[in-house]
A and B are shown apart, each in its own frame.
Chain A
């Protein structure tokens, strides 16, 4: 990996680094699945030891399963690099220390059976196995190493200088040895007292100074020292998700186009005396992104920042360049970490928030022909064609190199034409993070077969791409030039033939019609649907509904008219009219007419109250008939008397004066009130 200048968005340089940065060229890519760094042998709890043994057993099972599955593959692989490391070169009698062996290979060669033969006088426990995975960036490109690690714990029983024979590992039927190690054992109590290690692994940190977390991680040598670091505003948060420890994923942007780089930084915030070490890590899933680690191990530097008014120490755990693969609101997922609490008895699990990145396509306007979604960055294209003169049917090599930074294209659109056959390219690349960008080159080596004699112009290779900095499309272009194709002296090569003896594709498309070079007059159909959505439903239902409504309206009007007409001709209405006539006649002094009108009113009232037609009855029959119809006897008598008076008034003008309209009114009102149902 090259050293990069500090990017503008990096946090400021720490004023005090609590732990020295790891110095190895190779850095662990993934966390190791080793045993928990627990107490010294003998001093740990039984449950802890049982856990450790279970972990070792599981790991052994995995390793042996892997061996069983891939014996043939291992035979074809290169031997692993085997190295050994000792935790301390000077120890006291009775003080445990560790010897660690690593067997790593680039092609994943599986090594088994780690063995350590300690000198006499040493007690040995282990090995504890772990899987290892490392990645490095360099001029030769990215290197990924995989393998196993084995750690033994040794305790010397006598002073002296001892050479520990080289630990060995079995690979492909042979035993490969690391280098021998030397240790000086001093009498008990003669060596200066050491600071207690942050790792409670026997003998201290098995990774030494190259640990991803450093000794005493995450705290300094003196935990009781008050935190005197200043606040870093760029890492400060208005609110702390947890008061002791939490994880935060920070994206340099939340809006991007497909293929545009987004840089994600994973930070750990922890309060003083909250945690002692990291136990288990679950990285960001990033399933919709292409990801390239920028700082896979993060930074050893520690910053301070305030979150929700509290002071936290902050450490960068990981920095990744991610490239969105599709449009939409994409989720990074959560980064999870399990910590061992400060008291080393409980575990604390924390997860970061899920960051959402809104991903769109670059603008359609001014999009160049041949642009493919995802080609985003700043690129240049160079090409080399060799040789320039070839016989018909022969081939030339075309090497196209794309340099720059961004999301490099995985394929190129070559200028295909009749008589020029482009075979699948061979790809090479060297991409590495520089600052916060992925830079380098990717080259495509084509073999091009030329089947038509003459001066063939190969055309130009173009790479249209979106430049996110300039916010515009650019086209990187390189002319391939012409190749002279001489006629073949030998017979033309016979294309692959089918059973019928004809070339494979000749039968179907040998005679294609000529292309259309001009656009004929054409008007696109409107394509609009007849009556959209609810309008169609309305058009369908409205005519019968209107018809039914009209018919209903007419029917209602008819009934209303009929009811009005019936009301006008009802006995009650007619009785009222007769009474009005009676009053008018009385007022004009026509007593006989008044009596006749009063008689009519009473007759109609009787009909309205009982349904009886009083004119069809004899005078003496009326009162009993009314009583029989349910009218009160007194009322019946009054009606009978009034009708008799009216009858007399028809022939006797003096008797007519005896008929009082008021009596008739009262009688009509009483009769209608006492209406018999």
Chain B
């Protein structure tokens, strides 16, 4: 064994440090699981109040799991079924199921439950003689929504790489032909030629200087040059289209979050709280949530945008 800290001591210290680091994380995980178990047990025994408390506490702790979100949605539906509904319960249930689908997009049960909730909202609005509202997203949101923002980013980076390759390929043709006089031997030969001209009194320099131009005009373009030209053109167009979309998608992802309305009806206002008019956003509607200022958040619903009380919207993770 060499001098310094013995290997065994080092291993022990590393294990101790790992234990120290892993300890709190494991304790947190155990607490989360216990809270979920408490919530689901309460739900199974019909104690929806306790279930909602436990599962909401789980969400407040930042714990994300599709099953926990799903059970939370069920707890709200159970409260509605027990005629103990509170304003916003439908929206909270919808938010929970939306959350489940964001975490696990293939969850058919959550999808069906969300459909039920939205159908119930529609039924209630119809019962109140309210007309159906169709909130259509704007064109930019439609385009950006076609692919995930990562896909747009990758596509634009690929376009950028293609542009680089195209530029190099276009250059390839010149280098091959030596139109630019790139080789040192060629230069030496030319210098020698000039010397011979000096001695012999010949005057062929002008002719020689014109010859590469003539050659270029006469010879067919190199296939790589043609390919490069095509690639450059295509990639420039691609870059001009894809880069702004990718940028917009990234900006939206960074500045907005999906949300669900958890008030019976939400009326958009301006920043000062003055009603903007227009249709009220129905409960359980999916909205795009932006900046928060004090007790209000900026919300975009279809083409309408304005401010809502923060308590009227549940932001999804």
The answer to the question of B54 belonging to the interface, with a C-beta cut-off of 8 Å to chain A, is yes
B303 within 8 Å of A (CB atoms): no
- Any A CB within 8 A of the CB of B77: yes
Do B154 and A509 touch (CB < 8 A)? no
The CA of A510 and the CA of B120, in the complex, are separated in Å by 12
Most chain B CB within a 10 A radius of its CB, from A512, A513, A529? A512
Q: Is the CB of B83 within 8 A of A495?
A: yes
The contact size tier of chain B is 35 or more
Report how far A376 CA is from B190 CA in the complex, Å. 94
Q: Indicate if the CB atoms of B84 and A515 lie closer than 8 Å.
A: no
Within A487-527, the residues touching B (CB, 8 Å) are 495, 498, 504-510, 512-520, 522, 524-525
| CB contact between A519 and one of B33, B168, B203 (< 8 Å): that residue | B33
Q: Which B-chain residue is minimally distant from A452 (CB atoms)?
A: B46
Q: In the complex the two chains form, what is the Cα distance from A531 to B157 in whole Å?
A: 11
Q: Once the chains bind, are A531 and B182 in contact (CB under 8 Å)?
A: no
Choose, from B36-44, B218-226, B279-287, the stretch at the interface.
B36-44
Q: A529-B149, A547-B167 are in contact. Are A417 and B109 (CB under 8 A)?
A: no
B191 near A565 with CB under 8 A, answer: yes
Q: Are A326 and B295 in contact (CB under 8 A)?
A: yes
User: With an 8 A cutoff between CB atoms, is B248 at the interface?
Assistant: no
Question: How far apart sit A364 and B70, CA to CA, in the bound complex (Å)?
Answer: 24
Tell whether, in the assembled complex, residue B49 and residue A517 are in contact, meaning their CB atoms are under 8 Å apart: no
Within the complex, the shortest CB–CB distance from B209 to chain A, in Å, comes to 11
Most buried by B among A508, A513, A518, A550: A508
How many A residues touch B, CB cutoff 8 Å?
69
Residues of A close to B157: CB separation below 8 A: 539-540, 543
CB distance from B82 to the nearest CB of A (A): 5
Partner of A569, one of B40, B64, B165, B194: B194
Residue B101 CB within 8 A of the other chain: no
Contact with B along A359-388 (1 / 0, CB 8 A): 000001001011000000000000000000
- The answer, yes or no, to whether B119 is at the interface (CB within 8 Å) is yes
- Count chain A CB atoms within 10 A of each CB in B36, B123, B160, B184 and give the residue with the most: B160
Check if A515 sits within 8 Å of B44, measured CB to CB: yes
Chain B contacts for A513, CB-based, 8 A: 74, 109, 113
* A64 in the interface (beta carbon within 8 A): no
Across the interface, do A515 and B43 meet the contact criterion of CB distance under 8 Å? yes
When A509-B116, A558-B180, A615-B201 are in contact, do A536 and B153 touch as well, CB less than 8 Å? Answer: yes
B57 lies within 8 A of chain A by Cβ: yes
- Is there contact, CB below 8 Å, between B81 and A555? no
* Contact, CB under 8 Å: B201 / A613: yes
Is the C-beta of A418 less than 8 angstroms from some C-beta in chain B? yes
Cβ contact of B171, chosen from A505, A530, A554, cutoff 8 A = A554
**Chain B 249-274 residues near chain A, CB threshold 8 A:** 250, 253-254
**Which of A326, A416, A498 meets B48, CB within 8 Å?**
A416
The residue of chain B having its C-beta at the shortest distance from the C-beta of A515 within the complex is: B43
List of A residues within 8 angstroms of B171 by Cβ? 551, 554
Q: How far is the CB of B8 from chain A (nearest CB, A)?
A: 35
B144 beta carbon closer than 8 Å to chain A: no
Q: How many Å from the CB of B17 to the closest CB on chain A?
A: 22
Interface assignment of A162: CB less than 8 Å from any CB of chain B: no
- The answer on a CB contact under 8 Å between A524 and B295 is no
A415 within 8 A of B: yes
- B131 interfacial contact with A, CB 8 Å: no
The interface residues of chain A lying within 8 Å CB-to-CB of B290 are: none
A557 to B81 CA separation, bound complex (whole angstroms): 81
Contacts of A92 in B (CB 8 A): none
In the A-B complex, list the 10 residue pairs whose CB atoms are closest, starting with the nearest: A416-B49, A418-B46, A565-B187, A543-B164, A547-B164, A569-B191, A417-B47, A369-B57, A508-B120, A516-B67
Known contacts A370-B53, A495-B83, A508-B116; can you find 8 more A-B pairs with CB under 8 A? A369-B57, A416-B50, A417-B49, A513-B74, A517-B44, A530-B154, A554-B182, A569-B190
Identify 23 residue pairs between A and B in the complex whose beta-carbon atoms are under 8 Å apart, listed by A's number: A364-B60, A369-B38, A416-B79, A417-B45, A418-B46, A418-B48, A421-B83, A508-B116, A512-B81, A515-B44, A516-B70, A529-B254, A536-B153, A542-B160, A544-B164, A546-B164, A548-B167, A551-B167, A558-B182, A565-B188, A571-B198, A607-B198, A615-B201
